[in-house]
Amino acid sequence: MIPALELHDVAKSFGPVRALSGVSLTVQAGEVHCVLGENGAGKSTLCNLVNGGVSLERGTMTLYGEPYRPSRPTDALAAGVAMVHQHFSLVPTLTIAENLLLAAGARLRPRRRELHEGLARIEETYGLSVPLDELAGHVPVGVRQQAEIIKCLLRDPRLLLLDEPTAVLGPADVDALLATCRRIAEAGKAVVLVTHKLGEVTRAGDSATILRGGTVAGAGPLAGFGAEDLVELMVGRPMSDLDPLLVASVDESATSREAARITAEPVFRAQGLTLSRADGTLALDGVNLEIAPGEIVGVAGVEGNGQSELVTVLSGAVPPGSGSFLLGEHDLTFATPRGRTAAGLGIIPEDRHHEGCVPAMSIAENLFLPRLSEFARRGLLDRSALHEAAARVIEEHGIRATGPSARMSTLSGGNQQKVVVARELALDPLVCLVAAQPTRGLDIGAVDAVLGRIRSAAQAGAAVLVISSELSELLALCHRIVVAYRGRLLGPVPAAAPQARDEIGRLMVGAAA
Amino acid sequence: MRTNAFVVYGGAALAALLAGALLALGGGASPLQAGAALWEGMFGSAYAIGSSLNTAAALGLIATGFTVAHRAGLVNVGGEGQLCAGGIAAAFAGVSLPDATPTLVALPLVLLVAFAAGGAWAAIAAWLKVSRGTSEVITTLLLNFVGLAMVLLVVHEEGLLRQPVTSSQTLPQSEPLIEGARLPLLGLEGSPATIAFLIAAVAAVAVAVLLRRTATGTRLTAVGHSVTAAARLGLPVRRLQFWSLTSAGGLAGMAGGALVATTPFVLAESFSSGYGFAGLVVGLLARGSLAAVAGVALLFGLLASGGMNLQLAAGVPASSVQIVQSLLTIFIAGAVILRRTS
Amino acid sequence: MSAFVELAEGGVRLAVPLLLASAGELVSERAGVLNLSVEGMMLTGAFAGAVGASMTGSPWAGVGFALAAGLLAALLQAVLSVTLRADQIVTGIAANALALGGTTYGARLFFTDGRSVPGFEPVLGPLTVLGCAGLAVVAAIGLLLSRRTGYGLAVDAAGADAVAADRTGLPVAAIRYGVVLLTGLTSALAGAQLALAEVHAFTDNLTAGVGYLAVVAVIAGRWRAWPTALACLFFGIAQALQFTAPLLGLHLPTAVLVMSPYLIALVAVSGLVGSSRAPAGLTVPFHRESR
């Protein structure tokens, strides 16, 4: 049987960084093939190669036996390869119908009738449907993903690529998505599922290729691998060597740790926080939360249920519509970011590149931007003192860089995050730390370092709030977990409870606590 | 990286030079003749150098301001309008002060008023930017045309700045500024160069120190690179943005004041001569370096006076210089991609 | 009464070049490319039109010259904006300076001995055949590139989210080239309109900011077709008023009329009245392989 997709000895570099080297892989029609790997293993590059987003440097690709070398996404689409992008490819200012019409190519008269026929066919075959007249930018993320998948299916592709499709979905939506993948494969198409979450694979996949550091660490039918084998292949060390916390970040089956007893008075008090979106709906609908010193509270939930908005309100980027936020004695509800910092509130933002740091500036500048006046001498900035102070932080936090004047953008994601964490932990006193998606996009070594720092901050007496879409990570790190659902926080669920995972899963889809 | 930048600028200059030679040929002069005329116009006399310096001072002030705003991530396209606002304010002050006001009082006052007016003009755009999020590129661009029309208004209306109309020959322009409000000459033999050149140099040095050596400069840089990160880190983003654009306008306004306080010491319809746009181009080509601002401003100033002689001495249209300048800009702007990918 | 008729006729006549240039520019900005060089493209078109008409004796040949020259000017802008991803504001201003210098230089060499430029005469009210043709072009652009057609959707997609459009399989670079070239054609036609149907000659800096006014009309119209057309008409009337105000017994300083379009645009764009949203990708170059 001719394989649907075959990669042979493929390599790709970005400047000095080798993203992929010597990668070979075979995908059969009618199967769901999983590409597994940690962040930075080369999964995205692989997707972009197959999709024509980046061009091949070395090696060959064949599609259903024919040489295949797309130089742009259009080529891939013409060859019957469609991709569901992690960040979607829908134009937010157009309606979903208009987006779907565009997928059929730009014509003077859009073929509305064909579209409706196609949609009816897809609904019949796969059970998928979407609201057509809504703006793509206004629908929930799960609906957007369905629209994205329908957009791909309308072209009747031979090969469907899905890049981290479950990152934005709740458990129920994940199950539905995996079922859809199976149905697409059963219709005779090849499906490539790219992910770093092992749980999905064992449920939906037929075979797998495991990437590590840009090379293939293992491949074969999934039946031949145990869950532990897969973790070891992804991480490159035997599972018994790993910190349970690390394992938790890649494996769903890891156990949670014992809860410590927290008895102190809460220092973090959010009461009745609300926030409206531009369209009048509530992004936050009465958020109540208290955290004691030394306590780590996690916020789980499907993305888009108010987690990001909660962080923007806590960090002072946007004032809440109503409610209050107190830190110890200080009322921070409407405080400026500077006032919050002074009160001892550290924030590790979700979007490291846009909020957490200034990539074009040096490590030293990034570390001390909020405190530059401490380095002013007679009106001028004392750069040598600044660099000395930065060098100490670099040393202490094990940040790998050429020096304090190295640009942030030259650092790996993990080291950038270490700089952000170092800056926020340097607050004196650190009363409370809010960490949003603190390990997103990091490799396993950096995950370990960042989570270790967060944990020790709590041990030193800070109240810690961790917002994460990695449930396993929350279960391993936190004392209590609350679940964001439509702008409210449900729960809490003690992380050590035996049924914590199932309980949280139910809360994520809005079932009563 | 450095060699690459050298290749880009060198190549652009060479290509522009070649175009200049062709234009000279087209105008009926040999490139050598034209070159000689251009050189003569640029360096041939104390007068030529002096007027180049005056032009360069105006361009340098505007470009220095542009650099301040650009450091905070704002593109000030509005130099022309701010220049007009400064010129109008300077003219108002300079004609209404008592005749006997000494230079030490009148001149600083006139320049200060020009700075304030240019700053206020830019502050409209700055306020719209920080309070409504309106793109400063669009608002400053629009304010240019309003500013130009304002000059038109004040020099045509007798109730405003127009000199008393005595005959149909009376030009639509203001009365001359009082003696004390005029920029003193640098005192070089036969040279019209005024102390505007020194003012521009001081401004450039002060701004260079501000941007590179102070905490404020670093904060501006942070805002310029990432507004969200700067806000998150507690920097007063709106204040920094507002004042950087406003000071850019102030410097352009001061350039306008300097132009009005230079011979013939009047505000006339076309007194801005497109300096606002040229200053913008100088600022863009200098790419954030104040040393480059000085160099490019000087080059543009020299080319402007060289171009006039080109027409007088070699019969080649003066617009050749404009063509060469714009080609130079286009080549350098277009070649940015080469440096980006290197 | 006749003064009002004259005002209306003048307004319509002067609105035609504005409508033409801003029709192209509106489409271009919707696709994410800002052409400040509309002014330069118009001037180039006016110059080439005058040269062509004067050389051949046929105004229609002049129009052909104008279109070819406008296409060339637009090609320069497209290469800079799309392929080289240069700053659109800088290159726009520089291209205008180039056009001003180039046409002034050319005029010194060509229009030396009082050459005559044959032009068009009014046939329909104040409009010439060329004016009518211009209006037809504007209407065609309005119909073919509205949000209701697939082409219009593709244009909006390229301007709102170029990455998504590219992933959808739309040729973003080709779309952007297309709209800039379209702007070149309509702007050149607008310039030819000025030179051949209005002035019947070429003078230095003939367009004198009308091209900028066309860009301003798009901004004042908040990137929507009908408001932009309305803005053009209003700007045309404001220009005509400069000539007819004395006849109407109005004593408005010319300068007030000159600045009114810009003030209107400033109010429209500042969000002080209603909301205003520029295309998200306006002036943002698109590049695929950046990881």
Q: Tell me the two tokens of residue A115.
A: 């579209």
Of A72, A83, A91, the CB nearest to C157: A91
Cα within 13 Å of Cα(B135), Cβ side: 19
What pLDDT is attached to residue A241? 58
Record: contact B330-C84, CB cut-off 8 A? no
Mean pLDDT of A236-256: 55
Please say if the pLDDT value at position A513 is more than 50. Answer: no
Among C30, C141, C143, C167, pick the best mutation site for testing chain A contact (most A Cβ within 10 A).
C167
Exposed e or buried b per residue across A185-204, where buried means at least 16 C-beta atoms within 10 angstroms of its C-beta: beeebbbbbbbbbbbbbbeb
Cα–Cα distances in angstroms (integers) from residue B81 to residues A412, B57, B86, B279, C256, in the given order? 45, 17, 9, 12, 15
A492 to chain B, closest Cα gap in Å = 29
B182 to chain C, closest Cα gap in Å = 28
Of A48, A74, A108, the CB nearest to C171: A74
Please say if the pLDDT value at position B4 is more than 80. Answer: no
**How far is it, in rounded angstroms, from Cα C81 to Cα C91?**
8
Closest CA to A415 of A386, A394, A390, A432: A394
Calculate the average pLDDT of chain A.
Answer: 85
**For residue C97, which residues of chain B lie inside 8 Å, CB to CB?**
277, 322, 325-326, 329
Map chain C to HEC letters. Answer: CHHHHHHHHHHHHHHHHHHHHHHHHHHHHHCCCCCCCHHHHHHHHHHHHHHHHHHHCCHHHHHHHHHHHHHHHHHHHHHHHHHCCCCHHHHHHHHHHHHHHHHHHHHHHHCCCCCCCCCCCEEECCEEHHHHHHHHHHHHHHHHCCCCCHHHHHHHHHHHCHHHHHHHCCCHHHHHHHHHHHHHHHHHHHHHHHHHHHHCCCCCCCCCCHHHHHHHHHHHCCCCHHHHHHHHHHHHHHHHHHHHCCCCCCCCCHHHHHHHHHHHHHHHHCCCCCCCCCCCCCCCCCCCCCC
**For residue A365, which residues of chain B lie inside 8 Å, CB to CB?**
218, 221-222
Q: Tell me whether C275 touches chain A (CB under 8 Å).
A: no
**How far is it, in rounded angstroms, from Cα A453 to Cα A323?**
31
Cα–Cα distances in angstroms (integers) from residue B237 to residues B126, B233, B251, in the given order? 12, 10, 21
In the numeric block, the tokens 């405003």 are attached to B160
Structural domains counted in chain B: 2
Q: Where are the alpha helices (DSSP H) in chain B?
A: 2-26, 31-43, 46-71, 79-96, 103-132, 136-156, 196-213, 215-225, 227-232, 237-260, 275-286, 290-314, 319-334, 336-341
Q: Any residues with CB less than 8 A from the CB of A17 and at least 6 apart, and which?
A: none
Mean pLDDT of B253-260: 96
Torsion of CA A231, A236, A242, A246, to 10 degrees: -60
Cα within 13 Å of Cα(A185), Cβ side: 24
Domain segments of chain A: what residues?
Answer: 5-241, 242-344+427-513, 360-424
**For residue B284, which residues of chain C lie inside 8 Å, CB to CB?**
87, 90
* Proportion of chain B above pLDDT 70, given as a percent: 97
Same domain, B229 and B339: no
Same domain, B9 and B129: no
Q: Specify the CATH number for the domain of residue B57.
A: 1.10.3470
pLDDT bucket at B35, cuts 50 / 70 / 90: confident
Sign of CA dihedral A276, A281, A286, A289: negative
Closest CA to A451 of A427, A486, A430, A475: A475
**How far is it, in rounded angstroms, from Cα B57 to Cα B138?**
26
**For residue A92, which residues of chain C lie inside 8 Å, CB to CB?**
160-161
Same domain, B80 and B22: no
Evaluate whether C37 touches C91 at the Cβ level (below 8 Å): yes
Domain of residue B342, residue span: 1-27+317-342
Cα–Cα distances in angstroms (integers) from residue A186 to residues A125, A181, B334, in the given order? 11, 9, 52
Query: Given the DSSP bridges, would you call strands A66-67 and A58-63 parallel, antiparallel or unpaired?
Result: antiparallel
Record: contact C262-B334, CB cut-off 8 A? no
Neighbours of B98 (CB within 10 A): 9
**How far is it, in rounded angstroms, from Cα B119 to Cα B251?**
8
What pLDDT is attached to residue A486? 86
Of C98, C253, C270, the CB nearest to B157: C253
pLDDT bucket at A255, cuts 50 / 70 / 90: very low
Mean pLDDT of A324-333: 92
Among C27, C149, C168, pick the best mutation site for testing chain A contact (most A Cβ within 10 A).
C168
Which residue type does B291 have? A
The kind and range of the H/E element at A310 are helix A307-315
Same domain, B76 and B90: yes
Among B74, B326, B339, pick the best mutation site for testing chain C contact (most C Cβ within 10 A).
B326
Exposed e or buried b per residue across A88-101, where buried means at least 16 C-beta atoms within 10 angstroms of its C-beta: bbbbbbbbbbbbbb
Which of A54-68, A211-225, A240-254 is predicted least confidently?
A: A240-254
Q: Tell me whether C156 touches chain A (CB under 8 Å).
A: yes
What pLDDT is attached to residue A495? 86
- How would you class B169 by CB atoms within 10 Å of its CB: exposed for 0-12, middle for 13-18, buried for 19 or more? exposed
Evaluate whether C33 touches C179 at the Cβ level (below 8 Å): yes
C79 to chain B, closest Cα gap in Å = 9
Mean pLDDT of B239-249: 97
What pLDDT is attached to residue B340? 55
Q: Tell me whether C29 touches chain A (CB under 8 Å).
A: no
Which of B270-274, B276-280, C64-68, C276-280 is predicted least confidently?
A: C276-280
Please say if the pLDDT value at position A251 is more than 90. Answer: no
Of A51, A85, A110, the CB nearest to C150: A110
* Proportion of chain A above pLDDT 70, given as a percent: 93
Q: Any residues with CB less than 8 A from the CB of C224 and at least 6 apart, and which?
A: none
Same domain, B256 and B273: yes
CATH number 3.40.50.300 given to A5-241 = yes
**How far is it, in rounded angstroms, from Cα C63 to Cα C52?**
8
Evaluate whether B262 touches B250 at the Cβ level (below 8 Å): no
Which of A1-10, A182-191, A199-208 is predicted least confidently?
A: A199-208
Nearest residue on chain A to C158, judged by CA atoms? A91
Record: contact B218-A372, CB cut-off 8 A? yes
- Residue B152 included in any domain: yes
Record: contact A369-B214, CB cut-off 8 A? no
Nearest residue on chain B to C40, judged by CA atoms? B326
Neighbours of B15 (CB within 10 A): 16
Same domain, B140 and B287: yes
| Beta bridge pairs of residue A276 | A282
Record: contact C79-B334, CB cut-off 8 A? yes
Q: Any residues with CB less than 8 A from the CB of A228 and at least 6 apart, and which?
A: A239
Q: Which has more pLDDT, A254 or A66?
A: A66
Evaluate whether A374 touches A368 at the Cβ level (below 8 Å): yes
Q: Tell me whether C291 touches chain A (CB under 8 Å).
A: yes
The kind and range of the H/E element at A152 are helix A141-154
Record: contact C109-B145, CB cut-off 8 A? no
Of A19, A48, A93, the CB nearest to C160: A93
Record: contact B228-A354, CB cut-off 8 A? yes
Among A362, A377, A381, pick the best mutation site for testing chain B contact (most B Cβ within 10 A).
A381
Task: Please count the residue pairs, one from chain A and one from chain C, whose beta carbons lie less than 8 angstroms apart.
Answer: 85
Nearest residue on chain B to A354, judged by CA atoms? B229
Closest CA to A87 of A153, A192, A167: A167
Q: How many residues in chain C?
A: 291
Query: Given the DSSP bridges, would you call strands A207-212 and A215-221 parallel, antiparallel or unpaired?
Result: antiparallel
Which of B77-91, B161-175, C119-133, C195-209 is predicted least confidently?
A: B161-175
**How far is it, in rounded angstroms, from Cα A478 to Cα A443?**
21
Q: In this predicted model, what pLDDT tens digit does every residue of A24-35 receive, in sequence order? A: 999 999 999 999
Q: Which chains touch A (3 or more CB pairs under 8 A)?
A: B, C
Evaluate whether A327 touches A268 at the Cβ level (below 8 Å): yes
Q: Which has more pLDDT, A97 or A255?
A: A97
Closest CA to A275 of A287, A288, A290: A287
Of B214, B232, B233, the CB nearest to A381: B214
Same domain, B76 and B17: no
In the numeric block, the tokens 């006849």 are attached to C247
What pLDDT is attached to residue A244? 56
Closest CA to A33 of A272, A205, A263: A205
Evaluate whether B216 touches B210 at the Cβ level (below 8 Å): yes
What pLDDT is attached to residue B314? 84
Q: Which of A332-346, A387-401, B78-92 has the largest mean confidence?
A: B78-92
**For residue A369, which residues of chain B lie inside 8 Å, CB to CB?**
218-219, 222, 230, 233, 235
Mean pLDDT of A345-353: 87
Closest CA to B76 of B272, B234, B256, B283: B283
Record: contact C87-B284, CB cut-off 8 A? yes
Same domain, B180 and B80: yes
Record: contact A379-B214, CB cut-off 8 A? yes
What pLDDT is attached to residue A259? 45
Closest CA to A449 of A406, A371, A395, A397: A397
CATH placement of domain C3-269: 1.10.3470
**For residue A98, which residues of chain C lie inside 8 Å, CB to CB?**
147, 153
Record: contact A381-B218, CB cut-off 8 A? yes
Q: Tell me the two tokens of residue A477.
A: 């790190």
pLDDT bucket at B1, cuts 50 / 70 / 90: very low
Please say if the pLDDT value at position A112 is more than 80. Answer: yes
Record: contact B146-C262, CB cut-off 8 A? yes
Give ipTM to 2 decimals: 0.88
C31 to chain B, closest Cα gap in Å = 17
- Residue B205 included in any domain: yes
Q: How many residues in chain B?
A: 342
CATH placement of domain A242-344+427-513: 3.40.50.300
Q: In this predicted model, what pLDDT tens digit does every residue of B113-150 receive, in sequence order? A: 999 999 999 999 999 999 988 888 889 988 999 999 99
What pLDDT is attached to residue C291? 42
pLDDT in single tens digits along all 291 residues of chain C? 578 888 888 899 899 999 999 999 999 999 999 999 999 999 999 999 999 999 999 999 999 999 999 999 999 999 999 999 988 888 898 899 999 999 999 998 888 777 888 888 888 888 899 999 999 999 999 999 998 899 999 999 999 999 899 988 899 999 999 999 999 999 999 999 999 998 888 988 899 889 999 998 998 888 999 999 999 999 999 888 888 877 787 778 888 888 888 888 888 888 765 555 778 888 888 887 544
Q: Any residues with CB less than 8 A from the CB of A375 and at least 6 apart, and which?
A: A368, A381, A382, A383, A385, A386, A389, B215
DSSP B194: B
Mean pLDDT of A12-17: 78
Q: In this predicted model, what pLDDT tens digit does every residue of A140-158 receive, in sequence order? A: 777 888 899 999 999 889 9
Q: Tell me whether C109 touches chain B (CB under 8 Å).
A: yes
Same domain, B64 and B4: no
**How far is it, in rounded angstroms, from Cα B295 to Cα B285?**
10
Of B221, B232, B235, the CB nearest to A317: B232
What pLDDT is attached to residue C273? 57
Q: Any residues with CB less than 8 A from the CB of A406 and at least 6 apart, and which?
A: A362, A363
